[in-house]
Chains A and B, each alone.
Chain A
Amino acid sequence: MFKKLIDKSAAKSPWIYHINTGSCNGCDIELVACLTPRYDAERFGFKLAGTPRHADIVVISGPVTSQSKERLIRTIAQVPEPKCVVTVGSCPQSGNVFKGSYSVEAPVEQYVHVDVAVAGCTPKPEAIMEGLYKAALLLEKKREAMHK
């Protein structure tokens, strides 16, 4: 009876959990910039969650260092379904300027399923917002698919 309402709500209240896998902090501050008055991601219901158990969208930034790989996989496993994974910046996709380093294990697609990738070094907040919004719409689809 509430199925429709719940499906709709899935897109309206995406909570974000942010994982930094060795990022230079550039993408991180841009992500935080999305929440500032200028961009105000909260108007779409975005909220930063403190723990992966509360999250709907996992945001990954950074080129996945060897130290962080295990922790990344473990943390993403702890997020309850339906969930989306969004990468911010070029690093998680390709390794960017860190590519070839002995301690960098990008791209992240090898380890976790990525739904939305926002490229750029660093991407503009507008781009991040759009990526997150797409992920939010995807959440609704995933939720519908889960409860056919």
Chain B
Amino acid sequence: MFTTQTLWNFFYVLIFPGALFTAVVGLFLAGIDRKVIAHMQHRIGPPIRQPMYDFFKLMGKETIVPARANKIVFLGAPVVGFISLAVIMLFIPIMGFTAFSGNADLIVILYLITIGGVALIVGGSSSGSPYAGIGISREMVTMMSYELPFVLVLLAVARKVGGDSLVFSMEAIAEWQAVNGSLAFHWSMIPAALAMLLVIPAEVGMQPFDVAEAETEICEGPLIEYSGAALGMFKLNTAMKMAIMTGLFTSLFFGGFRTGMMWSDVALFVIICMVVTLVCITTIHAVTARLKIEHLFKFFWTFVSGLALASLILAWMGL
């Protein structure tokens, strides 16, 4: 049973590109986000390693389980979310390198990211706070909102790459881009890329789509009763989502670049992730205010879905 392959799999899952890599890149991206937004507002801003300080500080604080909460669910939810998010990066090709490749990556990724959100919802719900109740409602509606354009984007890419055969495999998409050029440079995929750029901040829970965790109106919603290590895990999960979503965008739309060497590939990947973060998370965050939940839903189901649908139809017309 314990062959070299198994050991490699453990390496993939735990270190690269699994848990550790995703977490470090995620925290790094979160730090970049905070630093750049500070500069945009003419501030100095925290150091780039600030999210790591936050994480370790939270690890050292007390974790209080409220009297109303169900202890197992309350403490288990962040761990479950972490586990599911830790494996997603394995399915995302880092330029030329893919740890696991199946023929259903797109759907698996879609659902594993959902688990991250569900963990937040179930954990928040189990805390028994009415603020959390409102928070999970908004989180769930947000999820329903961005899921439609997200699905349409994935199907558009699958059609563009696959043509008349079914391609749900990320590796195949990356290979196709290596041959035919990155999808972002195919004009029919540009609306899909724009839609995806708007899905990312909603998925990560950044302004203007952070209705679920609105700290000024509903006291951080689902996270209200979390403290200490459990809160730290959730903060880490959010950072990891940032790495995963930008990474997914990178390999879906900029997956065509190859430098030939593993390490430079990874560096390029992280740099593109960083640029994507700056464009779709930081800039939008800096210039917008929080939406209302019903407006958010409408925005995603009309405007963003429309963009994604345009791409899908163009792809079906063979363009």
Contacts and interface: CB of A to CB of B under 8 A. Distances in A.
**A adjacent to B, CB under 8 Å:** yes
Given A40-B44, A53-B231, A80 B224 contact: no
Interface stretch (A41-49, A65-73, A88-96, A113-121): A41-49
B114 interface: no
Interface string B55-82: 1110111111000000000000000000
A85 to B, nearest CB: 16
Nearest to A12: B53
Contacts of A2: 56, 59
B41 interface: yes
B54 interface: yes
B318 interface: no
B43 A81 contact: no
Interface stretch (A3-11, A20-28, A100-108): A3-11
B53 A143 contact: no
A49 B43 contact: no
Interface hub of A42, A49, A81, A143 (most chain B Cβ within 10 A):
A42
Given A6-B59, A12-B57, A40-B38, A54 B50 contact: no
A53 B123 CA distance: 15
A51 B224 contact: yes
Contacts of A8: 53
A43 B44 contact: yes
Interface stretch (B138-146, B213-221, B252-260, B283-291): B213-221
A82 interface: yes
A4 to B, nearest CB: 10
Contacts of A42: 34, 38, 43, 45-46
A80 B43 contact: no
B146 to A, nearest CB: 23
A37 B57 contact: no
Contacts of B225: 51, 53
Contacts, number: 88
B12 interface: no
Contact of B43 (A7, A9, A40, A147): A40
B42 interface: yes
Contact-residue size bin, chain A (C-beta under 8 Å from the other chain): 20 to 34
Contact of A80 (B62, B131, B215): B62
Contacts of B216: 50
Interface in B2-50: 34, 38, 41-47, 50
Contact of A81 (B41, B54, B62, B215): B62
A121 B192 CA distance: 56
Nearest to B215: A50
A40 B45 contact: yes
A49 B215 contact: yes
A6 B46 contact: no
B50 A13 contact: yes
B306 interface: no
A49 B224 CA distance: 10
The listed residue with most A CB atoms (<10 A of its CB), out of B45, B46, B54, B60, is B60
Interface string B220-263: 10011111100100000000000000000000000000000000
A2 B232 CA distance: 15
A6 B229 CA distance: 12
Contact of A7 (B41, B60, B227): B60
A15 B38 CA distance: 17
Contacts of A48: 215
Given A42-B45, A51-B215, A80-B64, 14 more contacts: A2-B59, A5-B56, A6-B57, A9-B55, A9-B56, A10-B57, A13-B57, A37-B43, A42-B46, A50-B216, A56-B61, A80-B227, A82-B61, A143-B60
28 contacts: A6-B56, A6-B59, A6-B60, A9-B53, A9-B57, A12-B50, A13-B50, A37-B41, A37-B43, A40-B38, A40-B43, A42-B38, A43-B38, A43-B46, A43-B47, A44-B46, A45-B46, A45-B54, A50-B215, A50-B219, A50-B224, A51-B131, A51-B215, A53-B227, A54-B223, A54-B227, A56-B61, A82-B61
Interface of A: 2, 5-10, 12-13, 37, 40, 42-45, 48-51, 53-54, 56, 78, 80-82, 143, 147
A-B interface, 5 closest residue pairs, ranked by CB to CB distance from nearest: A50-B215, A80-B62, A6-B60, A9-B56, A12-B53
